Amino acid sequence: MISRLSMLAAGAALVLAACVTEEGYRQHMSMMLGASGDAVLLDWGPPHATASMSNGRELWSYTKTTVDERAGYWRDEVREVRRTFRDKDGNEKTEIITETYPVWEPPQVFRSVCTTRFVMAAGRVQDVSFDGEGCVAEEIR
């Protein structure tokens, strides 16, 4: 049962992630290089954490947690049963019975986290790094 739910969750994640990728996020973040600190503050708000670096630069960190809740639902599952038998004349026959059963898919919660770090120097973004499965965006064509 757990592996089936895991496969459903992975499939749902793939469907949702079909339009967004880590490469897309990388593309968007590369556009931030050279941006002013004010532009970062306007787009991202105040950093969740800051740290002074040994080379005099400052590190601004942002962490975003996305929670996607899915309601439970009923779905139909079709099962096919084959039965081989001999009729009264001794001929072998195959009977196929198709049955439909209701199956409850319970509510699910998917969480993803993305941490993005901006290295600031002289009031501008010098470098950007990120990690986490939630760091996805639409690719720039």
pLDDT by residue (tens digit) across 34-88? Answer: 999 999 999 999 999 999 999 999 999 999 999 999 999 999 999 999 999 999 9
Q: How many alpha carbons fall within 13 Å on the CB side of residue 128? A: 21
More confident: 141 or 86: 86
Q: What is the pLDDT of residue 39?
A: 97
Q: What is the pLDDT of residue 19?
A: 82
Q: What is the mean pLDDT of residues 83-111?
A: 94
The rounded distance, in Å, linking the Cα atoms of 116 and 109 is 23
Q: Of all residues in the chain, what percent carry a pLDDT higher than 70?
A: 87
Q: What confidence category does residue 12 fall into, taking pLDDT thresholds of 50, 70 and 90?
A: low
Instruction: Give the predicted TM-score (pTM) of the model.
Output: 0.65
Q: What is the pLDDT of residue 119?
A: 98
Q: What is the pLDDT of residue 141?
A: 82
Q: What confidence category does residue 17 fall into, taking pLDDT thresholds of 50, 70 and 90?
A: very low
Q: What confidence category does residue 3 fall into, taking pLDDT thresholds of 50, 70 and 90?
A: very low
